[in-house]
Amino acid sequence: MTRPNPDPRSILDLDRMVHEPARLAILTVLAAAEEVAFLFLQKVTGLSKGNLSSHTQKLEAAGFLETVKAFQGRIPSTTFRITEEGRAALQAYHRQLRALLPKEGKP
């Protein structure tokens, strides 16, 4: 079965909120767990604190993640969880990208 050729212009329809590499990495990590601490997200993505904060704020504003702030004893902790909307956006992005990419073995 052959896949229908997508409209070449559909690459412009990719969700840019998800398409940015740092945000894509953040959403991928969050989708693989229920709740992730800021520290782990920073270590696993290799982003600086400021950069990570900036991207998570954008994703939160888009409704793709939730921030949970709490205290563990006296130490403040920040954790993130992906929302249903964020998970759906990530899955839709994967589908779109897969449709746009050439089949294996073809340039």
Partner 1 sequence: MTTPDLDALAALTRDYAAFQTRKSGLATALGGLLAVVLAVGSLSPLFMGARLGHRLLLEYLVWTPLLWLLLKGLLARALYRGAGSVKALPDGAYERRRWFWIFGLAMFLLAVGLSGLYAFARGLLQAGAAHDACVPAPPLWLLAMPPVYLLAMPWAIRGIEEARAYAVLVGQSVLWLLPFFLFYFGAPTPPLKTGWGLLGDLFGVGILVLWYLIMVWGALAMVRGWKEHRDFRKLLGTLP
Measured from the CB atom, the residue of 33 and 62 that comes closer to partner 1 is 33
**Cα–Cα distance measured from residue 7 to residue 96, given in angstroms and rounded to the nearest whole number:** 11
CA angle centred on 32, ends 19 and 22, rounded to 5°: 30
In the numeric block, the tokens 């993640």 are attached to 65
Q: According to the binding rule CB under 8 A, does residue 7 interact with partner 1? A: no
Q: Nearest approach, Cβ of 2 to partner 1 (angstroms)?
A: 26
Residue from 33, 58, 83, 100 touching partner 1 (CB under 8 A): that is 33
CA distances from 47 to 40, 53, 62, 72, 78 (A): 11, 9, 20, 24, 16
**Of the listed pieces 4-12, 20-28, 58-66, 98-106, which binds partner 1 according to CB under 8 A?**
20-28
Measured from the CB atom, the residue of 73 and 105 that comes closer to partner 1 is 73
